[in-house]
Structure 1
């Protein structure tokens, strides 16, 4: 398979918005390089190489301090590229891995020692094959012993089917990309209001106000996504995270400018207090708890 989506932006702008000291990109990826870390045979898409050096250079360019690297489906359950990036980060990166039901305890400990602090469950049928929910339940119980949390990725239309299962998961659960709402329907839509109620009913649920470039039905600067993200930030200030999603895998319509994505932040978190919670306090509490509050 050849690369199936646009390459990442070659020259992202320098953000106008200056993030607070210690800001965390809580959702980004590394891909390959494929010659060293081959992509999974069962992958649904093939990315371009996006190695750790490029990620860390972008982090510095944007004025960010730390990264949370999330394993993507193109690498399957082989977390080798993720682990290599974590070990090369001098403690400035943490990871979210993908594991199967048969993962050995020794492997979980190895991942923990490298900096992994969570496991991702992906329910997008266009990206992964179906997995019995019982498999996820077993994994959730095992990783909770390490103090890890769960990251879940689903479409808004799947919430009704998954909400009972998700509501019973132990510990902290982080929902990717605002639960992927239909932004054309507006924040008052029944679908998004159901999502809000679900978050209200489950105080262990956190949510990433990320990926306006995926959710928009318009062009940058993603005006149609602002009300959704701002609603979540203001309603759940202690349970929101933000990330670039670099290198924006499987994007086919346009490739966002990561500098502009940083400039999106003050539009959804209007005060310095909200910006600090979103970018520093909340991700530090989840991924660097030993340093949180210093």
Structure 2
């Protein structure tokens, strides 16, 4: 049951925990399969959350997550810094230290971070930085492009990318804005636009254009965040997944989005989310590319 802490306006709502049932997926995965989008949250007593956060997750720790991966048959993972920590990456770096062979990370950094600190992060397993455009946009449809280019120039020598949390429908000129960007960009949740907008949405079409030019990657994650359906199989996301793969299957990866923060309705099981690939990517060779080959290239495994 979802708990809220409405009695204290300074204490953001407590999130629903992920489904704890370890179901076996129907898919049997190839070697080196990778979950490219998950978050480690906590222990909150050791790594306090930002006072500016908009939600409070229950602890979602590495041992719990690794047990899930083992059950699903997933060997590798990419841990993405959650917004609850702002640019305090200690929990993320501690998790990466536990398994440097199989884990990579995406950090949140200050605009003025030094090259020396970036080098240290690279050695720790960080392979990109996350920018929350949902919160950073100067105005609807306008990116803080000068700041983003400044940061991109810093990380380019490391072979990193910038991962945007953004709704592509709010940026109809996305392909023009990012066409000459210094590093590749990665977008989650199939572009993070409601399925009701359709695949012909200008922002989504701009994303497809960037993918064709090998300037953008997309994560097949969080279908429950964009679907009009409240539980799997989220069939209204199928045209979006297929359009992304048709645009450039070499620029697509997949992830669970565990522990599914801020899901306020039905909590999907991760095995069911993995099995969506049967519909999204039915060909075994292409599925291996999305789950194994592409992540190895993007995250330098």
Task: Check whether TM > 0.5.
Answer: yes
Report the alpha carbon displacement of residue 198 of structure 1 after superposing the two structures with TM.
4.1
Corresponding residue number in structure 1 for 2:257:
245
1:144-155 correspondence runs (5 A): 144-155=156-167
| 2-structure distance, mates of 1:143, 1:105 | 8
Question: Which is worse superposed, 189-198 or 114-123?
Answer: 189-198
Report the alpha carbon displacement of residue 161 of structure 1 after superposing the two structures with TM.
5.7
Q: Secondary structure at the match of 1:236?
A: helix
| 2-structure distance, mates of 1:23, 1:146 | 24
| 2-structure distance, mates of 1:77, 1:233 | 32
| 1-structure distance, mates of 2:130, 2:91 | 16
Corresponding residue number in structure 1 for 2:46:
36
CA distances 1:209-251 after superposition (whole Å, capped 9, x unpaired)? 2111111101321111122112212331111000000001111
| 2-structure distance, mates of 1:194, 1:2 | 35
Taking a change above 3 Å as real, the CA distance of residues 109 and 198 of structure 1, as seen in their structure-2 partners, is closer
Report the alpha carbon displacement of residue 197 of structure 1 after superposing the two structures with TM.
3.2
Preserved CA contact (<8 Å) 2:173 2:206: no
- Provide TM-score, normalisation by structure 2: 0.89
| 1-structure distance, mates of 2:292, 2:145 | 33
Q: Secondary structure at the match of 2:134?
A: coil
| 2-structure distance, mates of 1:139, 1:2 | 30
| 1-structure distance, mates of 2:44, 2:287 | 36
Q: 1:179 aligns with which of 191, 214, 222?
A: 191
| 1-structure distance, mates of 2:183, 2:210 | 16
Corresponding residue number in structure 1 for 2:6:
none
| 1-structure distance, mates of 2:239, 2:123 | 39
Q: Secondary structure at the match of 2:148?
A: helix
- Is 1:25 aligned with 2:41? no
| 2-structure distance, mates of 1:251, 1:135 | 31
- Provide TM-score, normalisation by structure 1: 0.91
Taking a change above 3 Å as real, the CA distance of residues 211 and 53 of structure 1, as seen in their structure-2 partners, is same
Structure 2 residues not aligned, in runs of 5+: 1-10
| 1-structure distance, mates of 2:163, 2:206 | 19
Q: 1:193 aligns with which of 186, 205, 211?
A: 205
Corresponding residue number in structure 2 for 1:292:
none
1:1-294 correspondence runs (5 A): 1=11, 3-125=13-135, 132-160=144-172, 162-200=174-212, 202-219=213-230, 220-288=232-300
Q: Secondary structure at the match of 1:108?
A: helix
C-alpha RMSD over aligned residues: 1.9
Preserved CA contact (<8 Å) 1:211 1:245: yes
Report the alpha carbon displacement of residue 162 of structure 1 after superposing the two structures with TM.
4.8
Question: Which is worse superposed, 168-177 or 279-288?
Answer: 168-177
Question: Which is worse superposed, 40-49 or 87-96?
Answer: 40-49
Report the alpha carbon displacement of residue 68 of structure 1 after superposing the two structures with TM.
0.4
